[in-house]
Amino acid sequence: MQFTDLGDLPILLIAEVLGQDRDINALVRVNRTLYKLLNPVLYRHNIRYSGNSALKWGVSNCLEGTVRLSLVYGAPIEFSTGSVSGEDDDERDTDEQLEHAYGYENMSLVCIAAKKGNPYILRLLLEHGANPNCGYGRCRRVPISLAVQYGHDPIFTLLNEHGADMNPEDDPPLYLALLKGSVENVKMLLEAGANLEIFQANTGLSAVEGAVRTGDKDMFEFLVLSQRLNPYDCNGHTVLDIAAQAGQIDLAKYFLRYGLNPEREDSNERTAIFFAAMYGHLEIVESLLAARVNADKPDVNGTTPLSAAVKGNHREVSKALLCHDVDPESVDFMGRTPLYWAVHCGDPALVELLLTSNGVDPNFQAQYNHTFVALAASNGNILVVKALLDHGADPTIRDFFGRTPIVLAAIEGRTNVIKTLVKHGVDVNSADNAGRTALFWASGEDHLDTVKVLLRYGADTDKPDKGGRTPISRATERGHLRIVKVLLQHGANAEAGDNC
């Protein structure tokens, strides 16, 4: 007697008591008779006890037959594709592997179909009542945006026919179309109801700005000429500003050729040449210089294009600006000049470039009366220190606190800088306004090598500050025992400063 001879009812009862899809599926695969009889049982069991995984599997793998049968037997469409309570461990593990393998965790079925680009499966879902706007994830990705992102035009058309929202706030398809530089996609979206004003209000982004940043002239012309967007209002910038920032030389030349004002200022009083200099785009700087723009125009902080270029360590741009007679000593509202930024960045070549320009004072004192040598000494840039000294910088000038470059170098433990300064005749025992010498500071900061070098050059071990403290008392109170030992070896008075 064969199993099928039992009759339909006993076989159905046996299938009903089987606990897992795979056991029912084993029966379904025995022969055609069992397939016809038990396939509906398998699908209904999967829907009821296995979290509707068959429908998810079918959509994820473009299995139209599986999707169709799941829907025929009552599979719900709007459900989370994450793990479903009630599944056994093996089936839950299988689902998680599927989600991570295909990147579909927590995606709606419509989103999966849109991403896969299968219009037949998507149509089945939509005809069975699926929501064409059902999103997923923290940024609420929506099907219409996935269709645009992956270039699935038939999916786009199908979603549009079923009433998809063309202006979703969290995942605007216009943004993706603009990013791709697809004029056709943008046209298609606009014809379907996408609204550029809503897009810009929801995202704070400028459609024109996106086109310029990607260097898309066709997109720019479409938006400005066809849609009449304002080329002067890209979040407060002109399109020439944006081209200068992004290094889009062809568009920058195009804008200049068609008469866009290169001197127009943004809210920070910056013009296109400022942005080109700041981002180091030499060709755009040269084009703007050829257009005779004001290359010395400071922004709201008093920063000039030259300072912006030097601050960004853009040597060739700085050279081009200097060749057009910009002021090499322009001072911003914090007292900083281009040479200040060159020293701050630590580029000896930029420092040399500025020092060889007419009228640059190597002894200019910026905020707190710091000199350039003091800044370089504190930063420990020996090449910059040497360049400044070679061009006549005075290493004995004091800052607001009375500190000379050698004291600042000692505070930071810049031993090589101290050696260079001493070779240029700096007094190793010069003290600041509080009477503290380089040795006092190095001892207090536990810079052992610096202490040894200062002692080698004749630093006074017992010179007190205005409070009566000596280098050894400072090292003692800070617990720097190795410094104390070296000072004692060089004749320091162990009792000096003890009663302070």
At residue 88 the predicted structure's pLDDT band, cuts being 50, 70 and 90, is very low
The predicted pLDDT at position 95 comes to 37
CA-nearest of 30, 92, 76 to 14 is 30
d(CA 214, CA 178): 9
d(CA 119, CA 113): 8
439 in a domain, yes or no?
A: yes
Region 76-81: what's the mean pLDDT? 64
At residue 93 the predicted structure's pLDDT band, cuts being 50, 70 and 90, is very low
Q: Which residue has the higher pLDDT, 30 or 463?
A: 463
Whether 22 has a pLDDT exceeding 80, the answer reads: no
The predicted pLDDT at position 200 comes to 83
Region 240-255: what's the mean pLDDT? 95
Please check whether residue 239 is in contact with residue 268, taking contact to mean a CB–CB distance below 8 angstroms.
no
487 in a domain, yes or no?
A: yes
Structure token digits, residue 256: 């200049």
Q: Tens digit of pLDDT for each residue in 150-208? A: 999 999 999 999 999 999 888 889 888 888 888 888 999 999 999 888 888 888 878 88
258 in a domain, yes or no?
A: no
The predicted pLDDT at position 25 comes to 60
Query: Domain of 425?
Result: 391-500
Region 471-482: what's the mean pLDDT? 95
Please check whether residue 259 is in contact with residue 247, taking contact to mean a CB–CB distance below 8 angstroms.
no
Whether 225 has a pLDDT exceeding 80, the answer reads: yes
The predicted pLDDT at position 96 comes to 41
478 in a domain, yes or no?
A: yes
Please check whether residue 401 is in contact with residue 379, taking contact to mean a CB–CB distance below 8 angstroms.
no
358 in a domain, yes or no?
A: no
Helix, strand, or coil (residue 170): coil
Question: How many domains are contained in the chain?
Answer: 1
The predicted pLDDT at position 433 comes to 97
CATH of the domain at 410: 1.25.40.20
The predicted pLDDT at position 496 comes to 67
Region 121-128: what's the mean pLDDT? 94
What contacts 429, CB < 8 A, 6 or more positions away?
437, 438, 439, 458, 459, 460, 463
498 in a domain, yes or no?
A: yes
Task: Give the predicted TM-score (pTM) of the model.
Answer: 0.74
242 in a domain, yes or no?
A: no
